[in-house]
Amino acid sequence: MFFPFLLPGWWLLLPAVAFVMYSQWKVKSTYQRYARMPSTYRLSGAQVARRLLDDQGLHEVAVQPIAGALTDRYDPAKKTLGLSQGVYDGASVAAVGIVAHEIGHALQDARGYSPMKIRSSLVPAANFGSMLGPWLIMAGLFVNAFHGLLGIGVVVFAAAVLFQLVTLPVELDASRRALALLTASGFVDRTELSQTRKVLSAAALTYVAAAAVAVMQLLQFGLLLSGGGRSRN
C-alpha cells in the first residue's frame, strides 16, 4: 500500500525502501551467478534435499517442486519442502545452498526451535495486521467519526512488525544450520561452502530490509498517533 508516502513522515521510509531495492537486486544477482556454477557432485536440488533429510532422520518430510523462482519454502504444517523448479532440478552451488537453508527450517521444526514456534503463532495476527492495520489508520486519520481507529490500527499493524522482527533470527538460524549441514555432509568443498555462504547472506538481506521497512512504517504511524504532523479534516 502506497498511502504512507502521502502522509507526514514519509521520508522515514526512503532509506528502508532503498535498502529493499538493493537487497532484491543482490539476492537475484547472487543467485543467478552461482546458479551457473555446478556443484561438485552434480546432484539435483531434489536429490540433495532427500539425502540431507534422510541423514537427519526427517524421512516424513516430502520434497516437491513448486511454481515460481526463488519461491522455495518449508511448510511445517504439511511437512513438505517446496523447491522452485530451478532449485528442484538444478545441480548448482546456489541450488544446494537454498535446499540446505530450507532443510534448516525443517530441523527447526523437528527440534522445537522456539522462535519458529513464536513466528508460526504470529501468522494470523500478522496477516490481519498487515492487511487491516493500514486501512484502520487511514480511516482514523481522515474521517473524524473514526478518530479512535488510528490507535487501534497502529496496535494491529504492530503485530505485523513483530512478525518481521521474529523472522530475522529464524532465517539466520536456518542459514547457520544449512552451512553446518553442508560442512558435515561433504556435498560442497571449501570453495563452494564460501560461495554458498554468499548466497545465504544475500538472501538474509531481504529479511533485514523487510523488517526495516516495517519498523520505519510503524514509527511513522506512531508519530502520527502522538500528534506529530497528523492530517485531519
Rounded to 10 degrees, the C-alpha dihedral 146/128/116/218 comes to -40
In this prediction, residue 144 carries a pLDDT of 63
Residue 52, number of CB atoms within 10 A of its CB: 26
The verdict on whether 102 is a catalytic residue reads yes
Q: Domain limits of the chain?
A: 3-225
| Least reliable range by pLDDT among 141-150, 166-175, 201-210 | 141-150
- Would the pLDDT of 3 be above 80? no
pTM of the complete model: 0.86
Higher-pLDDT residue of 166 and 138 is: 166
| Rounded-to-integer distance, Cα 170 and Cα 166, Å | 7
- The one catalytic residue in 60, 102, 171, 192 is 102
Q: Quick one: pLDDT at residue 226?
A: 78
Q: Name which of 49, 213, 158 is nearest 150 in CA terms.
A: 158
Does residue 233 surpass a pLDDT of 50? no
Give me the amino acid identity at 154. V
